[in-house]
Structure 1
Amino acid sequence: MPDDFLVARNPEEGSSLPYLVRIPLGPDGIVLKARETWPRTSKVYCHRAEAWPADAQIVERVPTRVCTSRGAAIDLVLDRGRENRSQFVLARAKGRQVIFWQTPRTAKQARPNVRIPTARPRIGDGPPDPAPAPLEILVDPYERYAWRFSRQQATTRKAPLAVGDYAVELDGRVVAAVERKSLQDLSSSLLNGKLRFALGELSGLRHGAVVVEDRYSRVFTLEHVRPAAVADAIAESQARYPTVPILFCETRALAQEWTYRFLTAALHEARLEHGAAFHLDELEAAGPVPPREPTTAEVRAWALAAGLPVSDRGRLRPEVWDAYRDGHRAERPDARGP
């Protein structure tokens, strides 16, 4: 698999996408046509290219730190200080497949694309609000004093879990799990090595986490163990299993709320990945990119050159646009007015 992210000039003459980008994913990489070399001010439209040219004129070559596919998206992290994080997203527009290249600045993803049910039945006159289906959370039978999620739109069902204390499943398969710990249980399981095995099992899932019903500052008030040893064990465990976060949620109620929202979001992600309608290697040919529509200034300049009376500023009359379309219909059969 190529290690560098490449940007080159598109050798195709007359293309409105003047650049080629090569994503280092798969044995030969993925080649796309792009309008810009990087999404700086807005999302960049991309189009699938047939192949990388043998004599490509390279514009940029940057080493890649991370390049992974997740459902209908590709996450790309380049090995440079600025303009290093971006994402290629597959979507559908008007029945055709499109690709957009975006960065955190252009995406404006302040909240995850997850619908978390919060509606409650209305009290008083009038019909109640339509309630979404509650989230079903699996609870391990050996969990003592289990959370009931009575304040959340969720139901619980006891089921033996191979990993974690709370989980959600998709098509009969566990896709996310959470291990609950009190501070005392966390410290003892860290020092006797049990938590390391639990973290290893959780890391085998796409989504796993450990939730502690206390504050991190309380670690340094433990009396029957050396606090520094527990803090070191937490840091070592997190470094060894970086995909399984250890969350300190202060109270039982906050830990329960975080778990509910985490499992909801994880199930949503699992459904997206499971039901992705297409991937980059399955894209159908979308056809040539339509030509750019003329601007008002371009049409005004053409009209002046053709001897048509037009104003110096403002909107153009419909008959001017009709004359421009008629004059360019042979070279632009799909040209349209504003």
Structure 2
Amino acid sequence: MPDDFLIARNPEEGSALPYLVRIPLGPRGVVLKTKDTWPGATKLYCHRADGWPDDPDIVEALPVRSVSKRGAAIDLVLERVRRGRSQFVVTRARGREMIFWQSRQTSKQARPNIALPTARAHGEELDIVVDSGEKYAWKFSHQQASIDKRRLPVGDYAVFDDEVLIAVIERKSVADLTSSLMNGKLNYALAGMASEFRAAVVVEAPYSAVFKQEHARGASVAEAVAEAQIRFPSVPIVFCDNRQLAQEWSYRWLGAALHEHRQRAATDAVVDTLPSGPAASPKQIREWAVASGLDVPVKGRIPKAVREAWDARNG
């Protein structure tokens, strides 16, 4: 079980960030300075702390349901109904590291229910590589992207970070999807795509078209789609209404995948270097082991397996 999420007063006099938070992530936790005890309609800026105080002035100790690192974010879920979910997002701006703490309310304010204007995918013009064997390829003429044609190891469209393949898309018409599912070729393609950081199959038709095939039973095709998704859950099969929407979805998805990969690398580097909280005492480890049903002696040295389980409990 995760430790409590701790909020304490910052002992640093005159700081514009009067609170410390300790996120129970990793063996010793992650410690940050912040402006308030919880984000509201606006996100809170956070900064690295020098460490957790020896005698902290605790404001709140909140039981944690789960805590995990996901891409550019650290997701935190508390054991309470209101104000129970939040995330810490690590990014960079003007060449320096920035960490923001936001809640579900913050995200709702940031994404109002309005039509989004045409814009670059995550603020940059994408360099999209199209497989040289792709017939009647998407041109992305309505998106801000440059196109390069060369042979891809998997898929039809891809983005790279330097020379590393980050995300790939296999394009299908509904007839091609049906044929490749029925003869088993798509399963081989999905197996290759599943090893990439991100991969997807994009169909230039709505899901309803699956049931309108002339030479295949709709139920059989639907079953094959479902089986492929269960077998390869990391490679979604996405149905778009038409070619134009399939192209637009793919453009946004490729941009998001590239952004996620870069942010994940930045987050890993930040979390690895953030100041840690105090090391756990043998008493704490014993209590946790007993509560978790692990075999641990009342006295003496704590077994290595128990310590490894303690260190790995939050990833």
Smaller-chain TM-score bracket: 0.5 to 0.7
Alpha-carbon contact 2:22-2:29 (below 8 Å) kept: yes
Larger Rg computed on CA atoms: 1
Residue 7 of structure 1 is matched in structure 2 by: 6
Q: Distance in 1 between matches of 2:231 and 2:76?
A: 23
Alpha-carbon contact 2:173-2:205 (below 8 Å) kept: yes
TM-score by length of 1: 0.63
- Measure how far apart 1:184 and its partner are: 1.8
Deviates most, 157-166 or 32-41: 32-41
Please list the CA deviations of residues 213-232 of structure 1 after superposition, one character each: whole Å capped at 9, or x if unmatched: 11111112224333223223
Q: Secondary structure at the match of 1:279?
A: helix
1:40-79 matches, cutoff 5 A: 40-47=40-47, 48=49, 50-51=51-52, 59-64=61-66, 66-71=67-72, 73-78=73-78
* Cα separation, partners in 2 of 1:23 and 1:240, compared to 1, 3 Å: farther
| 2:148 is the alignment partner of 1:157 | yes
Q: Give, as a single letter, the amino acid of the residue that structure 2 aligns with 1:28.
A: R
Q: Distance in 2 between matches of 1:94 and 1:165?
A: 35
Q: Secondary structure at the match of 1:105?
A: helix
* Cα separation, partners in 2 of 1:4 and 1:184, compared to 1, 3 Å: farther
* Cα separation, partners in 2 of 1:95 and 1:179, compared to 1, 3 Å: closer
Q: Secondary structure at the match of 2:190?
A: helix
| 2:114 is the alignment partner of 1:110 | no
| 2:253 is the alignment partner of 1:262 | yes
* Cα separation, partners in 2 of 1:261 and 1:22, compared to 1, 3 Å: same
The one of 233, 243, 249 aligned to 2:224? 233
* Cα separation, partners in 2 of 1:147 and 1:25, compared to 1, 3 Å: same
* Cα separation, partners in 2 of 1:53 and 1:243, compared to 1, 3 Å: farther
- Measure how far apart 1:68 and its partner are: 0.9
Residue 302 of structure 2 is matched in structure 1 by: none
* Cα separation, partners in 2 of 1:20 and 1:262, compared to 1, 3 Å: same
| 2:25 is the alignment partner of 1:25 | yes
- Measure how far apart 1:247 and its partner are: 1.6
Q: Distance in 1 between matches of 2:103 and 2:34?
A: 14
TM-score by length of 2: 0.67
Deviates most, 188-197 or 12-21: 12-21
How many positions carry a matched residue from both structures?
267
C-alpha RMSD of matched pairs (Å): 4.0
* Cα separation, partners in 2 of 1:52 and 1:176, compared to 1, 3 Å: farther
Q: Distance in 2 between matches of 1:191 and 1:254?
A: 26
Alpha-carbon contact 1:139-1:157 (below 8 Å) kept: yes
Alpha-carbon contact 2:8-2:56 (below 8 Å) kept: no
- Measure how far apart 1:91 and its partner are: 5.7
Alpha-carbon contact 2:62-2:79 (below 8 Å) kept: no
Q: Distance in 1 between matches of 2:227 and 2:119?
A: 35
Q: Secondary structure at the match of 1:250?
A: coil
Alpha-carbon contact 1:43-1:102 (below 8 Å) kept: yes
The one of 240, 244, 250 aligned to 1:249? 240
- Measure how far apart 1:275 and its partner are: 6.8
Residue 123 of structure 1 is matched in structure 2 by: none
Q: Distance in 1 between matches of 2:270 and 2:111?
A: 25
| 2:127 is the alignment partner of 1:136 | yes
Instruction: Tell which has more relative contact order, 1 or 2 (C-alpha 8 A, sep 6+).
Output: 2
- Measure how far apart 1:143 and its partner are: 2.0
Gaps of 5+ in 1: 118-131, 285-338
Alpha-carbon contact 2:77-2:84 (below 8 Å) kept: yes
Gaps of 5+ in 2: 276-315
Residue 306 of structure 1 is matched in structure 2 by: none
Please list the CA deviations of residues 114-138 of structure 1 after superposition, one character each: whole Å capped at 9, or x if unmatched: 9518xxxxxxxxxxxxxx9964321
Q: Give, as a single letter, the amino acid of the residue that structure 2 aligns with 1:61.
A: P
Q: Give, as a single letter, the amino acid of the residue that structure 2 aligns with 1:7.
A: L
- Measure how far apart 1:165 and its partner are: 0.6
Q: Distance in 1 between matches of 2:84 and 2:268?
A: 28
1:168-187 matches, cutoff 5 A: 168-187=159-178
Please list the CA deviations of residues 298-327 of structure 1 after superposition, one character each: whole Å capped at 9, or x if unmatched: xxxxxxxxxxxxxxxxxxxxxxxxxxxxxx
* Cα separation, partners in 2 of 1:269 and 1:93, compared to 1, 3 Å: closer
Please list the CA deviations of residues 203-244 of structure 1 after superposition, one character each: whole Å capped at 9, or x if unmatched: 333332211011111112224333223223323433444443
